[in-house]
Amino acid sequence: MVNIFNNMRERQWSPLLYASEVCYKYVDDIFAVFDTKAISLDRFVGKLNNRFPTIKFTYKMEHNEQLPFLDVLVIRNSENKLEFDVYRKETATLRHILNDSHHPFQHWQVLIF
């Protein structure tokens, strides 16, 4: 149901994203690259939020040529090309389920070893 809603909304606001140089979408997360000299991101996000008051659009700027997106750390290298690495939040504990623990089988099925 969420996908249907998002697709209907996307048709309405996608013309606003044509101002971006790059745009990728995963469910309700959008990765877009803008030339901040040509467009004010505050004004752009303000337009989206005014047009769709029930949805809260936010943005993050890159810091030290890095920007997290979902579980990926997008890195802009010295040649202005994108590199990718695994992104872990500061709160990540990297703890795993022990082999001798008594977790349901469904939990084991989704683990990557």
**Per-residue pLDDT tens over the stretch 17-63:** 666 777 787 877 888 888 777 678 888 888 888 887 888 888 888 99
- What is the Cα–Cα distance from 21 to 60, expressed in whole angstroms? 16
- What is the Cα–Cα distance from 72 to 62, expressed in whole angstroms? 13
pLDDT at position 55 is: 81
Give the domain ranges of the chain: 1-59, 61-90
pLDDT at position 39 is: 75
Mean per-residue pLDDT over the chain, rounded: 80
pLDDT band at residue 112 under the 50/70/90 scheme: low
Residue for token pair 């070893």? 113
> Do residues 70 and 26 make contact, with C-beta atoms less than 8 angstroms apart?
yes
Structure confidence by residue, pLDDT tens digits, 22-34: 778 787 788 888 8
Q: Are strands 72-76 and 82-86 parallel, antiparallel or unpaired?
A: antiparallel
